[in-house]
Structure 1
Amino acid sequence: MSRWRVFWVGRDWLTGTGSPGPDGWEMRPGDAVFVGPDYRIDPLLCRFGQSSVFRGYERETRRNYATDIALLLTFLSARQRHWTDARDKDLDDFRSWRLEAPANPALVGSSKWNRELAAFSALYRWATRHRYVTASPVTMRQTTGLYGGTR
């Protein structure tokens, strides 16, 4: 496996309404579990998947955001960078890859990119608030629409 994947806690994983997972996590059906290319679960990302912020999203938004985050994680992994070490340059480069790179066979439009950016912003706001990162790589210029695509 060379990419990040998201798995979803199912009812059959649990006994009762919630069950302690690894490290005492309180898992619920529908929680996101992020698994890296090395087949390891990222405990911080799973905490994000269990956060009130993430759990508060509609089911489809959770699915979309988790998928978008996994794409970014895969991109960062290819650069040998952990998501907690991402810089705004990494997000700039990812944006270029998603919207413009001739070598990318699956370019996206600005609406899709804006949704992806919303997912990254949510993750990094949460991570900053909990001091898992010192600063968010999602910069204000990215979130104010200066990077709107042409597609």
Structure 2
Amino acid sequence: PKTSFRHFSFPWDLSKRFNESSNKIALVFGGEGTGLSTEDLQKCDFLTTLPTWEGYPIANLSHSVNGFLYQLHSDRVRNQQGIDAGLPEIVPIEGDLSPELRDTFLEAVEQFSLSVPGNQERKDSIKNSLTRMVMKSSPTNDEVTRL
């Protein structure tokens, strides 16, 4: 069988290995329904597979390519943003909102919602909507201070 001669790893293992290497690489995908032949597999240095649900253990080619490229690119962004000229530090990977400023913002939203005319249900709805809307964007300290 095809799998008897090599160990398969996962996309994140592949990504880690490639990030630690300066060599050129090629991703090789088999055709839908057939995969790679045993002969083709023997020519590959590193074999990897997408983890799938055992009830339906296949992925079509476009989904497989997408899964691997997403893993490789997301790791590259996390490791190289601001270092690699092709990945300038335009957007922070994580928001840097301090817990103290977050609490101050939430208190201000609470005060604002209480000042709006209407019943308590409306006030709670305004507070929840405004909080979700702002926090969904992972604001920075500077952005929350401006609000």
Work out whether the TM-score is over 0.5: no
TM-score normalised according to structure 1 size: 0.27
Higher share in strand: 1
Higher Cα Rg: structure 1 or 2? 2
TM-score normalised according to structure 2 size: 0.28
